[in-house]
Amino acid sequence: MANPTCTVRPTPAIRKNLCWYINIQEPVRRTAIGYDTQDLELDLVVYPDGQWELEDDELMDQRVLEGRWTGERVANIRVIGAEFADRLEKGERWWTLKWRDWISDLTFAVPNNLPDEWAAV
* pLDDT recorded at residue 12: 47
CA dist 77 → 40, 52, 71, 105 (Å): 7, 18, 10, 33
* pLDDT recorded at residue 4: 65
Tell me how far apart the alpha carbons of residues 5 and 27 are, in angstroms, rounded to a whole number. Answer: 8
* pLDDT recorded at residue 13: 47
Domain residue limits, the chain: 6-101
Per-residue pLDDT of the chain (121 residues), as tens digits, is 555 666 666 544 455 567 888 889 988 889 887 888 889 999 998 888 889 999 999 999 999 999 999 999 999 999 999 999 999 999 998 887 777 777 778 888 877 887 787 777 5
* pLDDT recorded at residue 104: 75
- CATH fold of 6-101 reads FomD barrel-like fold (2.40.380)
Tell me how far apart the alpha carbons of residues 50 and 52 are, in angstroms, rounded to a whole number. Answer: 6
Question: Which one-letter amino acid corresponds to residue 3?
Answer: N
Of 80, 86, 114, the C-alpha closest to 6 is 80
Of 39, 45, 46, 83, the C-alpha closest to 60 is 39
